Chain A
Amino acid sequence: MRITQGTFSFLPDLSDAQITAQLEYALRQGWALSVEFTDDPHPRNTYWELWGLPMFDVRDPVAILHEVHACRQAHPKNYIKVNAFDDTRGFETMRLSFIVNRPPEEPGFGLVRQETSGRNIRYTVHSYATDRPEGARY
């Protein structure tokens, strides 16, 4: 399967040139970029690991792409995403967030159904990858 989180997951994986164009766009908007990675891509895993702090003061797309490369090198089989953070009052949130690295195999998720009263079912989205301990996934 292919996890389709992030702004551009329905497109073919972005090239470095395409990533750079998006970084430039975010910088033009005045947003701060950051890199995060995880081996637990559950749809409700909000807190991926930070690859350093958000780069509030870095306005050079090359330097940010360098961090993407460094994160890829350290975690080649993890999911890695780039976030663009907008500190404008009324937003103070991410304005763009897209995946820039995926594991070669994406096992995806199972759906665990717990039959309860009547016809009610309690659903749990279960990540196959997390059956193995952190660091040994993918």
Chain B
Amino acid sequence: MSAALETRGPVEARSRYDAGVMQYRQMGYWQPDYSPKETDVIALFRLTLQDGVEPEEAAAAVAGESSTATWTVVWTDRLTACELYRAKAYRVDPVPNTGPGTRTEQQYFAYIAYELDLFEEGSIANLTASIIGNVFGFKPLKALRLEDMRIPVAYAKTFQGPPTGIVVERERLDKFGRPLLGATTKPKLGLSGRNYGRVVYEALRGGLDFVKDDENINSQPFMHWRDRFLFCMEAVNRASAATGEVKGHYLNVTAATMEDMYERAEFARELGSVIVMIDLVIGYTAIQSMAKWARRNDMILHLHRAGHSTYTRQKNHGVSFRVISKWMRLAGVDHIHAGTVVGKLEGDPAVIAGIYDTLREAHTPANLAHGLYFDQDWAGLRKVMPVASGGIHAGQMHQLLTYLGDDVVLQFGGGTIGHPQGIQAGAQANRVALEAMVLARNEGVDIWNEGPQVLEKAAKWCAPLRAALDTWRDITFDYTATDTVDYLPTPTASA
């Protein structure tokens, strides 16, 4: 920072509260010497400035507008411990590979610290009303993105977190040592309850652990929710008896009101379902309500991230999905769709690795190469099972297992239901491919390179796998990701 800027720090109290408009940094929202406390909430924003706006002033403005400030000086600040309540922008860095000489307009990372007492305990609604409440429309910024957050242990501990978590989910399902397998019923819309249940039965009977409602299956004219629930539970129980395994179907209880959602969730429980599902579009408060309900009712809670791409995908504006993942771990969901790397939906491998770590680890160290800017201690909150869904098939099993690891639900919708020999065959192909790959990996086979041979070998005795490999062999979705990391790993200089 230049010497000229430093002279424009906070001003004396007397003139600070004269009526009028002054720069945010003069109001105390820019404090380059501030060292965040262990209990501070920290947010990292990506700023794209309007012409003529200085980055420190923009950072101070974001700090101000997301905490105590308004556009003009108010004397009533002096009735409060306003020094404490002001958010403090304490660091601004230019974003690598932006600005002159690059194809991207200059951007800055602004680090802002918030006093813990600015937030209500256990409330994502309150946290987000501050952090993303007003600032995203702020005129001096062309664009603004919330890249990452550090949730202090003191705040994390006020949240319930996932009602079940990965460990307990596996113990309830009695399934260990491999990713779980799922599929979304297709077509997404239009099936009657009876026909819908058929798809569920076939997929579970064939070898999947879960089948899933799609995000927009609620209670439409072609299939009302009670009909769906009744037929699906017949399918789940039939498949369980036929295989000796615990099976489940994510019954989507998303509805117009909390009363409707509770009614649907309670019916799912009465019918013996192990899992219910909600969509991100129901809102943070509704999600937290369902998380509490799920904890009370021994229910696994699946979250579909419907709508997230409207604000997570573009790199210059919105909220990154790693932040949404953190909020959802606090809010308390057991499953969350978090990207596949290889499938049809957005997902850079490094970004996805950062998100998966955020969901699954007890503690995630800062790792710029994965887009993680802060050490994050999860304070004993349970782990969220990521769900990989969208355009994946058995032929990618070695890549999926390498990228995503064991604690993940792999959802092969089209890759199960679109199998040429039928849904059971599709499910069997996926399960055989998965178990063969896990077995080989554990035996020490280099599956990244030799995965295709492992699949070929299993396909010799498993005709449905043979057919799956032949059908989807060359299907890849190779597009450039829009949401990528800004810092590439550099080799450490040797001593």
Question: Which A residues lie at the B interface, using CB under 8 A?
Answer: 1, 3-5, 7-12, 18, 21-22, 25, 41-44, 46, 83-84, 89-98, 108-111, 119-123, 125-126
Whether B246 contacts A43 by the Cβ 8 Å rule is yes
Most chain A CB neighbours (cut-off 10 Å) among B176, B238, B443: B176
Which of B16-24, B34-42, B428-436 binds A? Answer: B428-436
- Nearest CB on B from A16, distance (A): 14
Which of B105-113, B166-174, B183-191, B316-324 binds A? Answer: B166-174
Question: Which B residues lie at the A interface, using CB under 8 A?
Answer: 167, 170-171, 174, 176-178, 207, 230, 233-234, 237-238, 240-246, 270-272, 361-362, 383, 406, 428, 431-432, 435-436, 438-439, 442-444, 458, 461
The 9 lowest CB-CB distance pairs between A and B, nearest first, are: A3-B244, A96-B177, A7-B177, A25-B442, A123-B237, A111-B241, A90-B362, A109-B241, A21-B443
Whether B431 contacts A10 by the Cβ 8 Å rule is yes
Closest chain A residue, CB of each to CB of B171 = A93
- Nearest CB on B from A126, distance (A): 8
Cα A25 to Cα B230 in complex, Å, equals 43
Give the residues in chain B near A98, CB-CB below 8 Å.
Answer: 177
Q: 16 A–B contact pairs at CB < 8 A?
A: A3-B245, A4-B244, A9-B435, A10-B432, A11-B432, A11-B435, A12-B461, A44-B174, A90-B167, A92-B167, A94-B170, A108-B244, A110-B241, A120-B270, A121-B271, A123-B272
- Nearest CB on B from A51, distance (A): 18
Give the residues in chain B near A21, CB-CB below 8 Å.
Answer: 442-444
Supposing A21-B444, A43-B246 touch, asked if A95 and B176 sit within 8 A by C-beta, the answer is yes
Cα A95 to Cα B179 in complex, Å, equals 11
Whether A95 contacts B435 by the Cβ 8 Å rule is no
Cα A89 to Cα B167 in complex, Å, equals 11
Give the residues in chain B near A89, CB-CB below 8 Å.
Answer: 362
Give the residues in chain A near B461, CB-CB below 8 Å.
Answer: 12
Give the residues in chain A near B230, CB-CB below 8 Å.
Answer: 119-121
Cα A89 to Cα B378 in complex, Å, equals 13
Whether B174 contacts A5 by the Cβ 8 Å rule is yes
Whether A125 contacts B237 by the Cβ 8 Å rule is yes
Give the residues in chain B near A92, CB-CB below 8 Å.
Answer: 167
Closest chain A residue, CB of each to CB of B236 = A123
